[in-house]
Copies of this chain bind each other. A is one copy, B any other.
């Protein structure tokens, strides 16, 4: 682990401050709607300084998204690895997502609205290498569901669709939380979702 000089540590702190400000602005206005001036203002730095730490507006966006996405998927993975059974892993994924959301509410304004157009620079476009991260994550989740089916713990179904459904459910709850500006308790949300996702909504089916 490299020791950083005081200057270097300060630089890192400044970069983080700017990324935090950028997160808020991109979340509110989208990529095209955000202005570098507003980011600088909220970060309480001059515009010029941003350009000494980042190449340009796009670089700020890409670094920001990259950082958070990597952090998020890393956290998610680690939490899942710690569990043994398939069901526990799924539970862990749900809880970890809500906890990450709890601490990174802002970012989900971006994350939840990723638009993956490859050609055009969409409203919240997903940078190239985040797309890879995302695809890998989806593959890992799919793997978990496949294993569950193979072991007879889960019912027969397309594992990709299962992964998507879980993702969708979580995202919807998060979206509603952003939409109504109400907080979500990770614990509660996890339990509610788990119950629905595992047992379905029909009466008489939820005695696990």
Contact = CB atoms under 8 A, between A and B. Distances in A.
A70 interface: no
Number of copies: 4
Contact of A152 (B32, B121, B167, B203): B203
A165 B196 contact: yes
A113 B126 CA distance: 13
Interface in A65-87: none
Interface string A84-123: 0000000000000000000000000100010111011111
A122 B29 contact: yes
Contact of A200 (B152, B173, B175, B205): B205
* A158, A192, A208: most-surrounded residue (chain B CB, <10 A): A192
Interface residues of A, number: 55
Given A113-B113, A113-B115, A165-B173, A122 B30 contact: yes
A172 B134 CA distance: 14
A198 interface: yes
Given A30-B32, A115-B113, A196-B161, A202 B153 contact: yes
Interface in A125-167: 145, 148, 152-155, 157-158, 161-162, 164-165, 167
A32 B156 CA distance: 44
Nearest to A29: B120
Interface of A: 28-33, 109, 113, 115-117, 119-124, 145, 148, 152-155, 157-158, 161-162, 164-165, 167-173, 175-176, 178-179, 192-193, 195-206, 208
A170 B204 CA distance: 24
Given A122-B28, A123-B31, A155-B206, A201 B162 contact: yes
